[in-house]
């Protein structure tokens, strides 16, 4: 799975949202990146233990869904989410930002109650422990 850098953005209130959403800007960039890859057809969105806040996002390309994955298509992009990551990503929005301040994918996650200063990792509400792995985001934020 080819990794892409992701930043956390503050959540906006949403009602009756699908598992996750992909904006048109993100879909356009994903299609552009997929065109440069071989043997991959879907965007895989996942969370992993690690980072300075407990969880970190993983975006990458994959050949397709595996058993238990949730799969959907939005704006012409096929997206898969593994069953472990799904509850932590419910209602999240994958966007692509290209501005003078930043350029890259950003995830607006209503489940994130806090994120580290670098924006690459996040925490969820008490009682939802991150899996043990990784340490620090590598940006010097703590």
Position 7 pLDDT exceeds 60: no
Determine the length of the chain: 142
Question: Residue 117: what pLDDT?
Answer: 52
Residue 48: pLDDT band by 50, 70, 90 thresholds? confident
Determine the average pLDDT of the residues in 4-23.
Answer: 59
Question: Residue 32: what pLDDT?
Answer: 95
pLDDT digits (tens, 9 = 90+) for 56-108: 888 999 999 999 999 999 999 999 999 999 998 999 999 999 988 888 998 88
Q: Strand 6-9 and strand 103-108: pairing?
A: parallel
Q: 2-123 domain in CATH 2.60.300.12?
A: yes
Rounded-to-integer distance, Cα 16 and Cα 31, Å: 26
Rounded-to-integer distance, Cα 17 and Cα 28, Å: 21
User: Does residue 80 contact residue 64 with C-beta atoms inside 8 Å?
Assistant: yes
Domain ranges of the chain: 2-123
């Amino acid at each position: 799975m080819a990794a892409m850098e992701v930043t956390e953005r503050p959540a906006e209130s949403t009602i009756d949202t699908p598992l996750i959403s992909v904006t048109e800007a993100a879909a356009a960039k994903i299609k552009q990146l997929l065109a440069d890859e071989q043997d991959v057809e879907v965007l895989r969105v996942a969370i992993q233990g690690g980072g300075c806040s407990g969880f970190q996002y993983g975006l990458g390309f994959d050949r397709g869904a595996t058993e238990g994955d949730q799969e959907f298509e939005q704006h012409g992009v096929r997206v898969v989410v593994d069953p472990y990551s799904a509850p932590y990503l419910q209602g999240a929005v994958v966007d692509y930002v290209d501005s003078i301040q930043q350029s890259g994918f950003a995830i607006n996650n209503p489940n994130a109650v806090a994120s580290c200063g670098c924006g690459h990792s996040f925490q969820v509400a008490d009682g939802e422990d991150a899996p043990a792995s990784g340490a620090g985001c590598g940006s010097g934020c703590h």
